[in-house]
């Protein structure tokens, strides 16, 4: 599950609040937070976690931090940039094992965590699905340029108001599981759980919005920035 954002991300106090709410949703504590992977540095308090995450050295433009909820087997990573560094998107990514997802209430906990992240970090695009589904979007030509194309439509997919306008509000009427936010955003929920969603449904949803806007792993052509996806500058203008 990933959230991508060009908004200025929260400072230590807001991160503490987010971690507190995440712990309540997941049912276990944040145990480790470290700039090294595998993580070894233990979390002594959530105040400490928020401060550690937001501390950038004088010459650093970004901080990449890894976290772990050891008792749950859940991991996360945060790639956070200085507010002025708008050539990159901030990213928060969670990894939950299938064992957690299949436990009683685990599916709803993941869904609630997805919604919490979308409220907290103001992403322009967020998604959640099985790891194999996300990995299937990897391109042989290299990493995906998110200013030229988005990865896809997954089990859970969030589009902010700017992207809803970009695709056209009416196109979302043709998708299943559309949930509209009061801020103009839309969350698409393709099924009860990832395994209930067919690959055909994922691809059909992407085609409904515009297949050129999403990754085709076999496509080796370079798409122009801003034609099939919004650039960071366009997204910043809508904040």
User: What's the confidence (pLDDT) of residue 59?
Assistant: 80
Mean pLDDT across the chain: 93
User: What's the confidence (pLDDT) of residue 86?
Assistant: 65
Q: Are residues 108 and 168 in the same domain?
A: no
Judge contact between 211 and 178, C-beta under 8 A.
no
Q: Are residues 71 and 139 in the same domain?
A: no
- Locate 14 and state its tokens: 């807001």
Of 75, 101, 123, which residue constitutes the final position of a domain? 123
Q: Are residues 6 and 73 in the same domain?
A: yes
Based on the structure, what is the number of domains in the chain? Answer: 2
Q: Are residues 4 and 114 in the same domain?
A: yes
Q: Are residues 177 and 206 in the same domain?
A: yes
Q: Is the pLDDT of residue 108 over 70?
A: yes
Q: Measured between alpha carbons, how far is 108 from 114 in angstroms, rounded to an integer?
A: 10
Q: Measured between alpha carbons, how far is 5 from 125 in angstroms, rounded to an integer?
A: 7
Q: Are residues 88 and 142 in the same domain?
A: no
Q: Are residues 165 and 57 in the same domain?
A: no
User: What's the confidence (pLDDT) of residue 82?
Assistant: 82
Residue with tokens 């550690």: 52
The verdict on residue 8 lying in a domain is yes
pLDDT one-digit tens code per residue, 183-232 = 999 999 999 999 999 999 999 999 999 999 999 998 878 899 999 999 99
Q: Are residues 108 and 88 in the same domain?
A: yes
pLDDT one-digit tens code per residue, 205-218 = 999 999 999 999 98
Q: Are residues 230 and 172 in the same domain?
A: yes
User: What's the confidence (pLDDT) of residue 104?
Assistant: 73
Q: Are residues 85 and 57 in the same domain?
A: yes
pTM more than 0.85? yes
pLDDT band at 41, cuts 50/70/90?
Answer: very high
Q: Are residues 140 and 40 in the same domain?
A: no
The verdict on residue 129 lying in a domain is no
- Locate 72 and state its tokens: 């749950």
Q: Are residues 80 and 113 in the same domain?
A: yes
Give the angle 37-89-180 at the CA atoms, nearest 5°.
110
Cα–Cα distance list, 147 to 5, 17, 125 (Å): 12, 31, 11
Percent of the chain with pLDDT strictly greater than 70:
99
List the domain range (segments joined by +) for residue 230: 134-154+161-239
């Amino acid at each position: 599950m990933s959230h991508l954002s060009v908004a200025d991300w929260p400072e230590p106090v807001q991160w503490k609040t987010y971690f507190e709410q995440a712990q309540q949703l997941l049912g276990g504590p944040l145990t480790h937070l470290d700039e090294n992977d595998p993580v070894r540095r233990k979390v002594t308090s959530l105040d400490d976690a928020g401060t550690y995450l937001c501390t950038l050295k004088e010459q650093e433009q970004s901080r990449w931090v890894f976290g772990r909820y050891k008792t749950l087997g859940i991991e996360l990573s945060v790639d956070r940039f200085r507010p002025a560094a708008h050539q990159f998107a901030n990213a928060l990514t969670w990894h939950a094992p299938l064992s957690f997802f299949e436990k009683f209430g685990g599916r709803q906990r993941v869904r609630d965590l997805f919604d919490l992240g979308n409220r907290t970090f103001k992403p322009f695009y967020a998604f959640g699905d099985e790891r194999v589904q996300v990995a299937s979007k990897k391109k042989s030509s290299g990493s995906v340029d998110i200013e030229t194309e988005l990865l896809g439509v997954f089990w859970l997919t969030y589009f902010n108001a700017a992207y809803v306008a970009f695709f056209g509000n009416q196109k979302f009427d043709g998708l299943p599981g559309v949930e509209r936010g009061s801020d103009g955003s839309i969350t698409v929920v393709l099924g009860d759980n990832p395994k209930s969603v067919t690959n055909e449904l994922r691809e059909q949803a992407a085609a409904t919005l515009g297949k050129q806007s999403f990754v085709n792993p076999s496509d080796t052509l370079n798409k122009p920035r801003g034609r099939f996806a919004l650039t960071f500058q366009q997204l910043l203008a809508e904040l």
